[in-house]
Amino acid sequence: MYDHVLVPTDGSEAVERALDHAIPLAADHDATIHALYVVDRRVATAGSSELHDEVIADLESEGEDAVAAVAERAREAGLDVETVVRTGTPDTEIVAYAEGADIDVIVMSPEGKSPRERIQALGSVSDRVTDDATVPVFLIK
C-alpha cells in the first residue's frame, strides 16, 4: 500500500515524534523513507543582500544535518532512505516533492511554526500541506 513515505524535517524534536510513526509504517510496508528539508527562501531573503549567500549556505548545511539525522534513524531500522534539500517555500516544496517522487503518504508534525508564521499568523506549514497534498498526510502531535 505504501512504497514511499515522506518525512519533511526541520531538525526539531517534533520530527523525532513523526519518525516514531513513520519508521514502523515504512517497515510494515517495506517502503522507502524520503527525508526532505526545505530552505525557506523567505527567511534567506529577509536579510541584506550581502548576507544572502551566507544565510543560504548556513541553512543548506542545517538541512543536510537534518536529513542525515532522519536517514540515520531509518537506516538503523533497516529501511532504504532518500535525502533531499531544496530551496523554496516549505509547504509548496513538500507538496511538489510528494507529487514528483510518487510519495504515498506524508508523515509530519504540526508543531514548530516559524517565527515569521507566528508573527504574521499565516498558519502552519502542516496546515497548508494538508490542504494541498494529493496523498494522505499523517500529523503527529
pLDDT tens digits, one per residue of 91-116: 999 999 999 999 999 999 987 545 44
- Residue 123 confidence (pLDDT): 57
Rounded to 5 degrees, φ, ψ at 24 are -60, -35
- Residue 53 confidence (pLDDT): 78
Number of folded domains that form the chain = 1
The answer to whether 125 and 91 have CB atoms below 8 angstroms apart is yes
CATH number, domain at 129?
3.40.50.620
Domain that residue 35 falls in: 4-139
H helices within the chain, ranges in order? 13-28, 41-44, 52-76, 90-100, 115-120, 125-132
- Residue 135 confidence (pLDDT): 98
